[in-house]
């Protein structure tokens, strides 16, 4: 859980950098992080992570926009087409190639590789495969699920 929280904090920071919000002359800004969530407890955890980030960056607020899972990819696609994408968001692995190939995701490799106290090489390269193109990094897998197939003999 702590690793996931630290990764989400870094993603929020990467979004702030990508939006140009962490410079010394930055005006008060809001980051919109579009997510799906299955419970109020999960949303409360995300709000706690955002609060920790905003303590260090008081001119930046983080707002989580929740979208039902079934509508998520369509909502993100419509926001992109309408010129109003979220600053940060989650994507399913099967959606990654479409969004990367469309060129709608920001390259965050410089931020991820240059953040003090963070070792990019610690990430599973197998999991990163969907989110990289050459040296560019367009996303970071923050969760993987071990699916199994079983046979009831």
pLDDT in tens, 100-145: 888 888 898 998 888 888 888 888 888 888 888 888 999 888 776 6
pLDDT, averaged across the chain: 79
Domains and CATH numbers, the chain: 2-137 (3.40.190.10)
Q: Please report, in angstroms and rounded to a whole number, the separation of the first and last CA atoms in the chain.
A: 35
Look at 34-38, 45-49, 63-67, 136-140 and tell me which has the smallest mean pLDDT.
34-38
Give the pairing of strands 29-35 and 88-89: parallel
Look at 53-62, 63-72, 136-145 and tell me which has the smallest mean pLDDT.
136-145
pLDDT average, residue stretch 53-80: 89
Residue 65 sits at φ, ψ, to 5 deg, of -100, 115
């Amino acid at each position: 859980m702590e690793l996931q929280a630290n990764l989400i904090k870094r993603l929020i920071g990467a979004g702030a950098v990508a939006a140009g919000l962490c410079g010394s002359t930055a005006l008060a800004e809001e980051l919109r992080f579009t997510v799906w969530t299955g419970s109020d407890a999960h949303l409360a955890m995300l709000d706690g992570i955002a609060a920790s980030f905003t303590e260090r960056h008081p001119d930046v607020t983080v707002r989580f926009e929740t979208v039902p899972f079934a509508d998520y990819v369509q909502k993100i696609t419509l926001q992109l087409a309408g010129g109003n994408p979220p600053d940060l968001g989650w994507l399913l692995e099967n959606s990654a190639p479409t969004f990367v190939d469309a060129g709608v995701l920001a390259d965050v490799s410089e931020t991820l590789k240059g953040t003090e106290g963070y070792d990019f090489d610690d990430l599973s390269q197998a999991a990163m495969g969907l989110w990289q193109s050459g040296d560019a990094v367009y996303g970071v897998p923050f969760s993987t699920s071990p699916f199994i197939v079983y046979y009831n003999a």
